[in-house]
Chain A
Amino acid sequence: MLFYLITRRQAFHVKSPNPDESLSVIDTRDVIVGLRGRSGGERRKECVGEENWVDSRTIYIGHKEPPPGTEAFIQQRFPDNRIVSSKYTFWNFIPKNMFEQFRRVANFYFLIIFLVQLIIDTPTSPITSGLPLFFVITVTAIKQVGDVVFVKENETFPCDLILLSTSRDEGVCYVTTASLDGESSHKTYFAVQDTKAYNTEQEVDSIHATIECEQPQPDLYKFVGRINIYMDNEPVARPLGSENLLLRGATLKNTEYIYAVAIYTGMETKMALNYQSKTQKRSAVEKSMNAYLVVYLFILISKAFVNTVLKYVWQADPNRDEPWYNDRTESERQRHIVIRAFTDFLAFMVLFNYIIPVSMYVTVEMQKFLGSYFIMWDDEMFDEELGERAVVNTSDLNEELGQVEYVFTDKTGTLTENNMEFIECCVDGHVYVPHVILNGQEHEELFFRALCLCHTVQVKEEETVDGIKQGIHQGKSTSFYISSSPDEVALVEGMKRLGFTYLRLKDSHMEILNREDEIERFELLEVLTFDSVRRRMSVIVRSSSGQLYLFCKGADSSIFPRVISGKVEQVKARVEHNAVEGLRTLCVAYRLLSPEQYQEVCHLLSGAKLALQDRDKRLAEAYDIIEKDLILLGAYRCGGQVGGGTRLQEKAADTIESLHKAGMKVWVLTGDKMETAAATCYASKLFHRNTQILELTTKRTEEQSLHDVLFDLSRTVLRQHGGMTRDTFSGLSGDCTDYGLIIDGATLSAVMRPPQEDSNSGNYKEIFLEICRNCSAVLCCRMAPLQKAQIVKLIKASKEHPITLAIGDGANDVSMILEAHVGVGIMGKEGRQAVRNSDYAIPKFKHLKKMLLVHGHYYYIRISELVQYFFYKNVCFIFPQFLYQFFCGFSQQPLYDTAYLTLYNISFTSLPILLYSLIEQHINMDILKKDPSLYRDIAKNSLLRWPIFIYWTILGVYDAIVMFFGAYFLFDNTTFTSNGQMFGNWTFGTLVFTVLVFTVTFKLALDTHYWTWINHFVIWGSLIFFVVFSLLWGGIIWPFLNYQRMYYVFMQMLSSGPAWLSIILLITAGLLPDVLKKVIWRALWPTTTERIQNADKLYKGHLSEFTPLASLQSKAGSQRRGSGGQRNVPNPRRSEPFSKKTMFTRWQRTPDYCTFTPLLRFADGARNSRQGYAHGGQTSV
């Protein structure tokens, strides 16, 4: 990890980008060449491509003067090479933290409060609110860099580098980017061809070249630049791509050393840019939290305002304002009334500011961070095969997992296995499977060579590498085929079994061992890489006989239009046959190139490759021109399983079924053909036998106009809709028809097109959404990656603003993963891009079930209680203080001691709720898994809706009133002690505070359904801590305090009998209504969750022979629950008919049984066999 930087000639003639920084020289044996970076934005005319280069930079290697003919350069400052991976540094902590925090409504407020406390004379000390504002500060090491860098094996690259030369002859080096994207496989990087020979220090120094490249941008896999190498003052331009760019953070492997030029440093490196560019996702809970916050802010301001006004009304009488016993100081008297009033207002704000809990944010952050470990720790979400466990990239969204309404899933690799195996090929309509004797037709030979050559598979020798690995030779497990696509590995493997073995790429020659055990060599001239838009790739090779071939393989849809001859019909028939079986079929074609044509191709490609602007676009254009006039050779297919259809991932169908039952809509978005995708959808139970399929495909829109098709479909769907409403209400409907929609990419883009000038097109989007809403499952096939994101965006933006989840494994899913509220990556075989960009990553699709139904559910329950409880306990805390102002002349006298004010949220009441929010389980996780419909109970942010929020607030106000007025009447003009002595205001406050701490803690205890020893420890522990602290705090005269107001106050209070009695009374009175509400609601309008809880308990009671309870409950008559229906119940979740209605509108296909059946099933299961139940819990481990 050390970078040795030494200038060659003079003593450290080093100019670091930042002149203030000194360089540390460690070892003179390791040499680096002179360092200086310069760049300019000048326009150069002699080079290829006449783009506008505003957005590029130029680097002069070895800080040599630019050769004559170039204009004066403008020095560009590079950022120093310091990467701060922590959120804050010592210096930017205050401003940056503020900026970060101010984005939240709350934090601006916290700062104001803090400042107010510092400035004006306030009832509480600034420490009280300043204390929670400390965060850990870290600064990472400061690293230095020059421009030519020498890196040895196993070192990490200090910045983004262009590889000049390596210790290996071929000019390649191997790099692992495990720390960047988690891919531990070795990747090959290439040195610039013209400089790869310069591999000593002197030679590197003699390189005379400039590098032009784009300004830094965050995409790790994209880099565009070119190097101009001056040979005898004649510049030679060479393209630079991501294969030449070594990224900061990656580690050099298997290569002794390299020389490279720094191009992006410090915060401009791609790694650093990636940290910043990830947009933060905010959860629905956080949104509710902020909404509540605004409400409380409003309450707070009105409280302060009301108090200020009342204060001045009350003070109108000078004898109240300044009675003889309580004079102001002279300076206070002279203050202007407006300033005084304003100061009073601020002081009230400070006094009541705890109603908006700073600590809630800290606790929520901790809950999210710590809570996310349970996902990572989950044994059931560990995959033995891959050796991977679930990964949490963003803990901010844990609770969002419990709120998902739409699941967008990729097909290949997500729903289906991506264990590719070469199954068969079809040449000119003849089908071959591995290990058959071939009959040596001309096309056949060419076909197999094409397959052997047209790929980007690398042969890896030695070392075990993670990822895709296949032994080339039996028994010789040291060589592997490596590719970013499992298809290609399967293909090459399959070829081997057909007798053609791809050996290696050596000196730009691909070597093939043919059936006669002869080595054939083909010179690899160009690779037209695969991309998901083109959906094909090509290579241009020169055979040993000098013949130039272009081999192209790709999806049928991208090949057929470019084919001019060959047995298209036969191949097409085969392809379609395969598609029905759900297999991926690729077509192979070729084209012979004449030397002239090849020259033209070269010219086209190099022109495009050297472009700095729009290189991708230009390349695509060039490819488009080159890949034409093909001759079809045949097709081959790879699949998950020999013989049958595509193998679904383990439990994929079960998972989808569960998600459906949980009320989620599952959409499959795939690039595959419709038939293939539809087959998978049936297999994975996305579509059922009785699902009515609605098609919105090109085939249909060709016959009818899109307009008509859409209206047709919507009419179909809505008719059913109407019928279902009645049925649902009568409760008679059995299984009503549900709809599945199939749409393809082309039609989708037609639908998405903004309304055209002609009026009748109307807004298709709305109609489309309407149809989708009424379909239980949607299949989108033939989707481009960007279209996937578009779909997600469309749903996100629809008027219900549903929470979306996107899951996928490949690079083509990244866009939708980033777009969806929650992005889940599958640790598949197509690289780590999906995982890296996701919020959560799981090894297999089946793990989604537990993640949503169990973890998501728990997190949501936990955090909603956390949020509500926090507001509640602070209302309880502050409202008495508000009431006290009416009895102390609105003088901002705090009711509680400073220590209590500070510690209430930090230590007396913080741990129980934090622990609750980490380990609460209102229902056993096995039941949650068994009964997905429970997920509906928390849908649509149901626990953070306004009625519930208002309930908690009212409860808080009630408790506050009980506590304050209880104490008030008890204290009213009487003595509490048997020795006649009187208590003062601090005892009064302490009594209220004691009741408060006990009440809010007991309230939480009543809400806890899952009492582990930790809960016992923390709940009772924090109460004991409060008592012990109070005893200590009042126990001695604290020398560092300038007041001793609490001295013996707590003890005196405890020594009084009536104080004990009133504490008990007030706690009881405070808790009474909540208990009552809980019990009555549970008895009269139980939620599904509550019924399951009852059933669970009952069933356990039977088993443990704990019969009294059971018999008590089974005695009840089977009264109809009519009573519930007639009452006007505030909570919509509970009232039976209402809930049916809401469920209906939210979950269009919710059949009536959804609230009952699962329970029945559960109860049945419970009654019938305990073993079955227990077994179910265990087998899923």
Chain B
Amino acid sequence: MMASSYNAKDEDGHITVTGPGGGTLRSKKPENTAFKQQRLPAWQPILTAGTVLPAFFIIGLIFIPIGIGLYVTSNNIKEFEVDYTGVDMSSPCFNCSQNFSWNSTTPCTCTIPFFLEQPYESNVFMYYGLSNFYQNHRRYVKSRDDSQLNGDMTSLKEPSKECEPYAYHDNKPIAPCGAIANSMFNDTLELFYNDPNGTKVQIPLTNIGIAWWTDKHVKFKNPGAGEANQNLTAVFQGTTKPLNWRRPVYELDAAANNNGFINEDFIVWMRTAALPTFRKLYRIIKSPSNGMMPTMPRGNYTLEVVYNYPVRSFEGRKRMILSTISWMGGKNPFLGIAYITVGSVCFFLGVVLLIIHHKCGNRNNSADISN
């Protein structure tokens, strides 16, 4: 890419002269090594218009196709979003959002119908999205005890100070402690397909594989994991559930491998989001094994929400998102556009440099040399 010339200056054969009083002389004489004489062989590239412009063209030629590829891929991804916060009077969830109370025992349920215009093939990923929710607030981010979540018994009984004010309740340690755990998303979302013939078919949702494998298997551990016949209820004896939770941590799921700290919904929630508007993976809709049918055919659907999670106090929004996924992840036109832009800019600059190079680039050298 760059013009290069290899400047291999060998040590010039220097003969050490031993003058009178050679002893002191030799000891003071600097060693004639390439390093000490600053004459190490070196490659000396210079960025000139002539040498850089091929690089610009090449970058342009590589980036533009990549960008186009990314953009097309992104456009092929199907995504559907429903806001079920219930801000509008017309919204089915308006009542639930209005009458919300932490103490209510009866769950508030709302049903939102929607229409999918395109069939969704292969695995469909179901996300919940929150807006204006500052999971990245410093006080919030650090309000957790990773040793407790890793199954450490001492931390279970004595949660870290970082968890304050969500560390103790009624003099009992909270498990899992901290603001993050306390505010875990607890709406229940269910999907139904309204068959053209009128029947309402529930769509099976998988809650396995929504968290990072390493989180589930290494970073998060139930206390006393590994012991035979562990009884979660017994292990969490002496702790109390987080204030806002309706159920204790050992009742999050019926399945033993998805209960306690290793509950995937919990793990997903514990990975704090980077930005105040975020989405988190909620469920996966596996494609049918025969592969002939689309996972979610075009048609009418119903989203049933058990509305537990209040967001209106901080002007937040709740969304349910359905998305298919490509090799490059979810729908993200920005990457493709950015590639196309940078590629085109490089290409354009290449042209500019070519002009500069031809008009002025050689002037100096040729003028100098011809003189």
Contacts and interface: CB of A to CB of B under 8 A. Distances in A.
Contacts of B52: 1075, 1079
A1095 B369 contact: yes
Contact of B364 (A377, A985, A1086, A1100): A1086
Nearest to A1014: B40
A320 to B, nearest CB: 6
B205 interface: no
Counting chain A residues whose Cβ lies within 8 A of the other chain, the interface size class is 35 or more
Nearest to B309: A325
B123 interface: yes
A1079 B138 contact: no
A1169 interface: no
A973 B25 CA distance: 72
Interface string A1149-1168: 00000000001100110010
Interface string A371-399: 00110111100101101110000000000
A1048 interface: yes
Contact of A1068 (B41, B59, B129): B59
Given A326-B134, A1065-B339, A374 B272 contact: no
Nearest to A388: B28
Contacts of B165: 327-330
B38 A1058 contact: no
B280 A982 contact: yes
A11 interface: no
A1119 B46 CA distance: 22
A650 to B, nearest CB: 15
A1052 interface: yes
B41 A1012 contact: yes
A325 B366 contact: no
B240 to A, nearest CB: 17
B271 to A, nearest CB: 4
Contacts of A1115: 362
A327 B182 CA distance: 11
Contacts of A1065: 63, 335, 338-339, 342
B41 A1116 contact: no
Interface string B333-356: 011001100100110010001001
A887 B3 contact: no
A1078 B56 CA distance: 14
Contacts of B214: 1047-1048, 1051-1052
A1072 B47 contact: no
A925 interface: yes
A921 B338 contact: no
A1069 interface: yes
B136 interface: yes
A1068 B134 CA distance: 32
Contacts of B17: 384
Contact of A378 (B30, B127, B327): B30
B37 A1083 contact: no
A1160 B136 contact: no
Interface in B16-42: 17, 19, 21, 24-25, 28-32, 36-42
B210 A1095 contact: no
Interface stretch (B89-97, B224-232, B296-304, B310-318): B310-318
A580 to B, nearest CB: 36
B168 to A, nearest CB: 11
- Among B63, B141, B277, the most chain A Cβ lie within 10 Å of the Cβ of B141
B50 interface: yes
Nearest to B370: A1118
Given A330-B165, A970-B335, A1056-B329, A1044 B146 contact: yes
A719 B22 CA distance: 58
Given A887-B276, A921-B42, A984 B48 contact: no
Interface in A1056-1089: 1056-1058, 1061-1062, 1065, 1068-1069, 1072, 1075-1076, 1078-1080, 1082-1084, 1086
Nearest to B147: A1042
B19 A384 contact: yes
A1112 B362 CA distance: 8
A1097 B3 contact: yes
B329 A975 contact: yes
B320 interface: no
A241 interface: no
A1094 B123 contact: no
B57 interface: no
Contacts of B371: 1160, 1163-1164
Contacts of B40: 919, 1012-1014
A975 B48 contact: no
Interface string A807-841: 00000000000000000000000000000000000
B38 A925 contact: yes
Contacts of B218: 1037, 1047-1048
A1082 B48 contact: yes
Contact of A1048 (B51, B141, B215, B331): B215
Contacts of B63: 1065, 1068
A889 to B, nearest CB: 5
Contacts of A981: 210-212, 281
B281 A1095 contact: no
Contacts of A1109: 3, 50-51
Contact of B362 (A1015, A1045, A1084, A1116): A1116
A1083 B369 contact: no
Given A893-B141, A1037-B150, A1056-B329, A984 B272 contact: yes
A1164 B97 CA distance: 85
- Among B42, B330, B334, the most chain A Cβ lie within 10 Å of the Cβ of B42
A231 B148 CA distance: 89
A1115 B365 CA distance: 10
B249 interface: no
Interface string A964-992: 00101111111111111111110111000
B332 to A, nearest CB: 4
B316 to A, nearest CB: 8
Given A323-B313, A984-B271, A1101-B5, A1181 B219 contact: no
A1130 interface: no
A464 interface: yes
Contacts of B37: 377-379
A123 B138 contact: yes
B135 interface: yes
A1113 interface: yes
A974 B30 contact: no
A1009 interface: yes
Contacts of B274: 887, 971, 983-985, 987-989
B21 A1061 contact: no
Contacts of B361: 1083, 1113, 1116
A982 B50 CA distance: 44
Nearest to A1066: B338
B277 to A, nearest CB: 6
Interface in A840-898: 858, 887-889, 891-894
Given A326-B179, A373-B36, 16 more contacts: A319-B315, A320-B314, A325-B183, A326-B140, A389-B28, A889-B276, A972-B332, A975-B323, A981-B212, A984-B272, A1047-B218, A1062-B335, A1076-B349, A1113-B362, A1116-B363, A1178-B12
22 contacts: A319-B315, A379-B29, A387-B24, A893-B137, A969-B338, A977-B329, A978-B326, A982-B278, A1011-B44, A1037-B219, A1043-B146, A1048-B218, A1062-B338, A1068-B63, A1069-B338, A1078-B47, A1082-B47, A1095-B364, A1104-B5, A1116-B360, A1121-B363, A1178-B12
Which 10 A-B residue pairings sit nearest by Cβ, starting from the closest? A1116-B362, A325-B183, A988-B274, A980-B125, A387-B25, A377-B36, A891-B138, A985-B274, A984-B271, A893-B138
Interface of B: 3, 5, 7, 12, 14, 17, 19, 21, 24-25, 28-32, 36-52, 59, 63, 66, 70, 123, 125, 127, 129, 133-147, 150, 160, 162, 164-166, 179, 182-183, 209-212, 214-215, 218-219, 244, 268, 271-281, 284, 310, 313-315, 323, 325-332, 334-335, 338-339, 342, 345-346, 349, 353, 356-371
